[in-house]
Structure 1
């Protein structure tokens, strides 16, 4: 799924084409973070067991950040888009953050992307734009938008 999302233009930390083994290394690292309790992750599976979408929540471990977390690596496989999976995954992560007592969430995404529009629709607030933040597969760079969202108490 990671390779399919990157090939489809998702800016989630990788460039297309991905070198052999890079996706496997990424998922291995995520699994270690989940096992250590540093990352919470949810996935949506297709009827055949294939992953259709995933999202991560990274609670801040520093004492002065115990009230916040970062949303990371929201991905929906290109063949599964248009079914509301991204919205469902975002709501799941936000609900989990709230249950953990996290009152502030942050994330970033490429300016003008489908994800940018999604976060705005879901009530996220733009904090600012960082120019030339992410390299593009075809060369050059693009800006990222940093967003934040306050969560009401449980």
Structure 2
């Protein structure tokens, strides 16, 4: 497996990112989207992310195996002026067929490294996934707390979110 940063994703990269996002939404992940989830929604989302990455506002990292892109994570660098030291980890997604193979951990380590290289000393994230909570704790992240009924699951119904931080 290889991790690489995308600053100007190709059409093939964009299609693969759409497939990963679609798989996660179809699998029930609370990642800002509702079902039915269309390819147009996926393309629109990744187009905005790609533009932001090209402007240097975020790092867009992908994990690839022999079959192509199987996971992704972002570090949002653009923060309010009183928080230049902080970044947000966003949309840590791993295709269901690639889970439990170290992809998520490799992406998180790469996200932390990219954040450090950009001068960030604090990272924050939230998740609605118990599996992701275990991953973040294994990676040394500190659980802050839970907010009940924070968002909706893709098929409907409320879910809680749990916030984490890590000092770099």
Normalization by structure 1: what TM-score? 0.90
Please list every run of at least 4 consecutive aligned residues from structure 1 whose deviation after the TM superposition is greater than 3 angstroms. none
Q: How does 1:26-105 map to 2 (within 5 A)?
A: 26-48=45-67, 50-105=68-123
For these two proteins, the number of residue pairs brought into alignment is: 149
Where does structure 1 lack aligned partners over 5 or more consecutive residues? none
Say whether residues 1:128 and 2:125 are aligned partners. no
The Cα shift of 1:140 comes to 1.9
User: Distance in 1 between the 2:66 and 2:102 partners?
Assistant: 16
User: Distance in 2 between the 1:137 and 1:71 partners?
Assistant: 21
CA RMSD of aligned residues (A): 1.4
The Cα shift of 1:8 comes to 1.1
User: Distance in 2 between the 1:68 and 1:51 partners?
Assistant: 27
**1:60-108, Cα deviation, whole Å (9 max, x unpaired):** 4322111110000011111111210100000001011112221110000
Where does structure 2 lack aligned partners over 5 or more consecutive residues? 1-19
Normalization by structure 2: what TM-score? 0.83
3-state SS of the aligned residue for 1:106?
strand
User: Distance in 2 between the 1:104 and 1:61 partners?
Assistant: 12
Tell me what 2:164 maps to: 147
